[in-house]
């Protein structure tokens, strides 16, 4: 798929009447420019393994983004900095145990942007995960060789082995 195809997706979105997230026609909405549509377009490679988290992430993001789901042609973003945080220590001195799953957008600049917790066993662990993500950097995803924003998700397992 070439840039022309990407632009045609954006133009297709613009050519339809404005629709609210719930599917009802929104007569007060001003149509987006092509640039605004492209700025909100996020690529996502579909796979059977990622279906559940993709669905949860898209639901959490609502209408903030236009997701361009693909089965091929998308090279995933590559991490260049950052890592998983250690488990925080509980009152008894032992590492807290739990799991957090965060969806996020990898921007064209390689940042982990707009993180959304889609699953968590503990709010404190969610805060630790979100804080660690501020240090993350990526080489952006590429669609047919061109850098694009992409949907990503990370599971943060916390426990004795993560301390």
3-16+31-162 placed in CATH 3.30.2420.10: yes
Q: How many CA atoms within 13 Å lie on the side-chain side of 67? A: 19
Contact at 8 Å (CB) between 84 and 67? no
pLDDT tens track for 59-116: 999 999 999 999 888 999 999 999 999 999 989 999 999 999 999 999 999 999 999 9
- Comparing CA positions, the residue from 86, 38, 59 lying closest to residue 153 is 59
**Tokens 């059977």 map to which residue?**
48
**Residue 138: pLDDT above 70?**
yes
**Residue 154: pLDDT above 70?**
yes
Structure tokens that stand for 68 in this block: 């361009």
pLDDT tens track for 2-18: 444 444 443 333 333 33
**Tokens 């991490």 map to which residue?**
79
What is the overall mean pLDDT for the chain?
Answer: 84
**Quick one: pLDDT at residue 163?**
52
């Amino acid at each position: 798929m070439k840039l022309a195809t990407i632009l045609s997706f954006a133009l297709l979105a613009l050519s339809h009447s404005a629709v609210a997230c719930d599917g009802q026609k929104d007569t007060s909405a001003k149509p987006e420019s092509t640039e605004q549509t492209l700025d909100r377009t996020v690529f996502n490679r579909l796979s059977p393994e990622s279906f559940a988290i993709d669905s949860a992430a898209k639901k959490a993001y609502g209408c903030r983004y236009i997701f361009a789901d693909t089965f091929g042609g998308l090279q995933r973003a590559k991490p260049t900095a950052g890592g998983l945080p250690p488990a925080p220590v509980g009152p008894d001195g032992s590492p807290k145990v739990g799991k957090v799953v965060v969806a996020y957008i990898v921007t064209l600049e390689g940042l982990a942007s707009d993180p959304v917790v889609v699953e968590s066993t503990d709010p404190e662990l969610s805060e630790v995960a979100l804080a660690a993500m501020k240090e993350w950097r990526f080489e952006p995803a590429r669609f047919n060789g061109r850098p694009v924003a992409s949907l990503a998700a990370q599971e943060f397992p916390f426990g004795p082995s993560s301390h």
